[in-house]
Structure 1
Amino acid sequence: MKRHLSECKFVLATDLDGTFLGGTETDRAALYGWIEAHRATVGLVFVSGRDPEFIHQLCGSGTVPWPEYVIGDVGTTIAHVTPGRQIEPIEALENEIAARWNNSGSSVKSALNKAPGLTLQPTEFRYRVSYDYDPEQFNPEVSKTVEAMGLDVLISDNRYFDVLPKGVSKGPSLLRLLGHLDVPEGRVLSAGDTLNDLSMLVAGTPSVAVGGSEDPLLDALPQKPHIYRAQGIGAAGILEAVAHFDLHPTPEKV
């Protein structure tokens, strides 16, 4: 059904790995089936560290619902999904991101070329540089080097090291998209499980750290009524939170 995201009763803004893709096959099928059965009233936004190509392949498999919008690359990509199932950046929302990045990729790679504990990921990203991270080998002074360049460091899941434009991450990009679409924040559930989801979970919408979330995320989250810590793992925790906040009738609350 064609409708604007602002017309939806409820919008799920969710991380992928460990969250939307987490939990048992039965739990994932229950969440995905519920979304597809209620597409007239439920909107879907992926907010992920993954790149658009991964998301295109994931949804193209036919087992995962297509979102209407994608915030990818840890918030440095903001895109819509076309009727032809292409993921196209929204230039008006990415201009500031591009300006803050200021073509810093080459200088970041040069500065961190021999940094211990960091292995450059092979994918070429537009507005970030990402590394696999070994905490036992890593020298914390490297983070200061990046910050001195006017950029941000984000370490998550104790294995990823991302260099991002200053002030750009999942939360700010989600708020930028919601404002652009006139979607009330109170209708949106943000869902995540690792530290790179923190900025999204504290952005002001109802939010959930699903069961199985990493301890550093849980430790960093404030105790506030709009932030829920679910028991259900991954997909099960999302539906648990939808029911907790009474955002939309769920299979248990029809």
Structure 2
Amino acid sequence: MDQAVTLSRRQFTSQISGSLPEQPELILVMDLDGTLLGGTVNQRRRLYHWLENRRERVLQIFCTGRDRASVRGLLAGDNGLAPPTPHLVISDVGCTVACGSSLETVPIAVDPIEAQWQAVRPRLDGCLQGLAGLSPQLRNVERRYSFNYEPRVFDASILQSLERLGVDCLLSDEQYLDVLPAGVNKGSTLLNLLALLDLPHGRVVTSGDTLNDLAMFQTGLNGVMVGNAEAKLRALHPELPNTYLAEAHGCAGIAEGLRHFGLDCPG
């Protein structure tokens, strides 16, 4: 490991509470809604138990469109059966990186995204106000704008002109619109995180179910598209050679994919 990489890893780990596995045998990156939170109660319990027992061997990363407040509520058990606390969280569709236990942001990973967002945000003022079929999400999102949209009403052609202002516009699950700093997404933030921590790409498995997970699958890392993935994402599966399309849904789909990649995971 060269000196620059050693320094970046040291700086990163100094900015989080708790510790990360030194030499993880697996780096498991999991979307939440429809993926880690999907499947039957028994399927979820089995995978959560498996993860909890492998905290020293499996580096666990949530990669979600949720904001940190929503993730905090989930881990507190506000919505029933809660998954184990991850080591790290990529939230806001890639715009935030946080420590899993404290959910405090990690400056070395977040500051460049924040600077990019602050540069582009003034250009967006008023651009998406009052548009038919579009309503802001009442959430504490960071470094992005987030909306619900009605596909039969909202005119998505406006997004092309919006992207010329220096943002990417991401439609997913036939109901969500995220306006992100250009080039920032789940995949780009994950790759940057792996570089900061000098983690081997060959030990990574990603998982997801909607179009906001596509960027993870396009990294070339091994991935699991769970069986309940939205139709528009499933249609792109032939273009994603390192992504396994599971038959099972949610947690069971993650477990099926891990077995496909040669890992011992419960059914």
TM superposition score normalised by structure 2:
0.87
- Distance across 2 between alignment mates of 1:109 and 1:22: 36
Which of 31, 42, 45 is residue 26 of structure 1 equivalent to? 42
Contact 1:8 1:43 in 2 (8 A): yes
User: If each structure's strand is expressed as a fraction of its own residues, which one has the higher value?
Assistant: 1
Q: Name the CA distance, whole Å, in 2 between partners of 1:40 and 1:112.
A: 45
**Contact 1:231-1:237 at 8 Å conserved across structures:** yes
Identify unmatched segments of 5+ residues in structure 1. none
2:87 is matched with 68
**2:248 alignment partner in structure 1:** 232
Structure 1 residues 215 and 107: alpha-carbon distance in aligned structure 2, compared to 1, 3 A threshold: same
Q: Determine what percentage of the aligned residue pairs are the same residue.
A: 38
Matched residue, 1:98: 114
Structure 2 residues without counterparts, runs of 5 or longer: 1-17
Residue of structure 2 equivalent to 1:208: 224
Post-superposition offset of 1:217: 0.6
Aligned to 2:153: 137
Q: Does 1:174 align with 2:193?
A: no
Deviations 1:109-165 (A, max 9, x none): 511101121101112422100110111111123202311211110000000011000
Question: What letter is aligned with 1:249?
Answer: D
How many residues of Structure 1 are paired with residues of Structure 2 in the alignment? 247
Partner of 1:38: 54
> Is the 8 Å Cα contact of residues 34 and 251 (structure 1) preserved in structure 2?
yes
Q: CA deviation at 1:6?
A: 4.6
- Specify the code of the residue in structure 1 equivalent to 2:87: E
Deviations, residues 224-243 of structure 1 (Å, cap 9, x unaligned): 54210000100001011111
- Say whether residues 1:79 and 2:98 are aligned partners: yes
Which deviates more from structure 2 when the two are superposed, residues 110-119 or residues 158-167? 110-119
TM-score of the superposed pair, with normalisation by structure 1? 0.92
Alpha carbons 2:123, 2:165 under 8 Å: kept: no
Residues 158 and 123 (structure 1 numbering): CA distance in 2 closer, same or farther, change over 3 Å?
A: same
